[in-house]
Amino acid sequence: NAGVMQNPRHLVRRRGQEARLRCSPMKGHSHVYWYRQLPEEGLKFMVYLQKENIIDESGMPKERFSAEFPKEGPSILRIQQVVRGDSAAYFCASSPNGAVFEVQYFGPGTRLTVT
């Protein structure tokens, strides 16, 4: 499967625990984007990363959320001390070069439920 991979597909965490969401971009893509979709809403941009660099984190909450895309391995979105309001679908997308007129291809998402 050459598409964007995300795991886990479903994640249940209790309030106060940590959530780690993983994203492997499409083969040949070095740019990764994370979006969050709350129930009944559209997708909202969170962060844009290139290998070992955060390019734009203007959509990330200031506290508890962090993202990385190491030289080797998948991109990780980390949410510390989760709260009920973090329950959402988190989508990762990738693109080859990060150019503006470039399609972003999405993974299947991770559905986070905080109990």
Residues that bind other proteins (CB under 8 A): 4, 6, 31, 33, 35, 40-45, 48, 55-56, 58-59, 91, 95, 98-109, 111
Which of 14/99 has CB closer to other proteins?
A: 99
CB of 78 to other proteins, least distance (A): 20
Q: Are 22 and 7 in contact (CB under 8 A)?
A: yes
Q: Are 32 and 23 in contact (CB under 8 A)?
A: yes
Q: Are 11 and 111 in contact (CB under 8 A)?
A: yes
Q: Are 60 and 78 in contact (CB under 8 A)?
A: no
Which of 10/15 has CB closer to other proteins?
A: 10
CB of 100 to other proteins, least distance (A): 5
Cα distance between residue 44 and residue 57, in whole Å: 12
Which of 17/45 has CB closer to other proteins?
A: 45
CB of 81 to other proteins, least distance (A): 26
Q: Are 99 and 39 in contact (CB under 8 A)?
A: no
